[in-house]
Amino acid sequence: MPDFEHIFRPIRGRRSFEEVAVSIKELVFDGVLQVGDRLPSEIQLAKQFNVGRQTIREALRLLELSGFITIQRGGGGGATIKNTILSRISDLFLDAFRMGMVPIEELTQARLEIEKVVLHYAIQNADGEDLRLLQENVDRARKKIKKNIRATEENFEFHTLLARASKNRIFVIVVESIMAIHGNYISRVGFDLEVSRNVVTFHEAILKAIKRKQRKRAVDLFTEHMLDVRDRLQSLVEQENSERRFSGDRAGILP
């Protein structure tokens, strides 16, 4: 494929803040700048790149939103090289969902299918450390449940740990993104203690099957688990929709 990215670029001449951002990005790609390194202050950067501070500010904004740097205010602050790209991807997925680009049913369906694949690879590739982390996770969750506390965080983490165990980072990104949306959704509608207990029980059974390399049993359990979650989500969605149906519509444009 011809490199459209580069061939078609000059249609709109790059803005200088983009030039600045790209050259800093290149330094990160090339390893000259590494995570933890601090960039000079805005004024310094403006001098070195021979541009105004506004240009530098917009370049930093671009890098910040692309997950390359974080910025701290105050003395000794400034821009620090970080890698929060994955977090940014999740943010955008969340936006896409909020834009109504992805209905909840498709989200759950995709999650089920992708996690089934993940489970397959996890059974194949999980090492001792992965199994230890998963076991620790369900133990912590069970302990909370016994104290009548919902183990929501642990229950989410279980899926992340599973994705990690698959040893494929694309799966980790995708699973985390989808779960960020699910998590955001559930945080709005709320799951109760009973559901949380149920989820933990499923997770314990799934982990046991993984350890015994019982592939079919693990997948069956997982499918049942996800369909259960789907149904609960579905009813919550319908409930929320019917509640919102008659709440007056808002008016007014830009303050």
Partner DNA sequence: TCACATTTGTCCGTATGTATC
Partner DNA sequence: AGATACATACGGACAAATGTG
Positions 179 through 238 that interact with a second copy (CB under 8 A): 183-184, 186-188, 191
Partner touching 42 among a second copy, DNA, none, CB below 5 to 8 Å by kind: DNA
Q: CB nearer to DNA: give 16 or 168.
A: 16
- Tokens matching residue 249: 């519509």
Q: Position of tokens 């989808």?
A: 178
Among 46, 107, 180, 221, binds DNA (CB under 7 A): 46
Round to whole Å and give the CA distance between 255 and 249: 17
Regarding 48 and contact with a second copy (CB under 8 A), the answer is yes
Alpha-carbon span 48 to 202, nearest angstrom:
58
- In angstroms, rounded to a whole number, what is the distance separating the alpha carbons of residues 222 and 229? 10
Residue 249 DSSP one-character state: P
Q: Which of DNA, a second copy, none does residue 189 bind to, with CB < 5 to 8 Å depending on kind? A: none
Contact call for residues 108 and 226 (beta carbons, < 8 A): yes
Decide: is 226 part of the binding site for DNA (CB under 7 A): no
Q: Are 138 and 200 in contact (CB under 8 A)?
A: yes
Return the residues of window 112-141 that contact a second copy according to CB under 8 A. Answer: 113-114, 117, 121
Span from 62-70, 135-143, 205-213, 223-231 in contact with a second copy (CB under 8 A): 62-70
The span from the CA of 252 to the CA of 199, in Å, is 43
Judged by CB under 8 A, does residue 254 bind a second copy? yes
User: Token pair of 142, please?
Assistant: 């069970």
CA-to-CA distance for 255 and 78, rounded, in angstroms? 32
Which of 8, 32, 149, 231: binder of a second copy (CB under 8 A)? 32
> 7 to 26, contacts with DNA by CB under 7 A?
12-13, 15-17
Scanning 131-139, 141-149, 150-158, 208-216 for contacts with a second copy by CB under 8 A, the matching segment is 150-158
147 or 212: CB nearest a second copy: 147
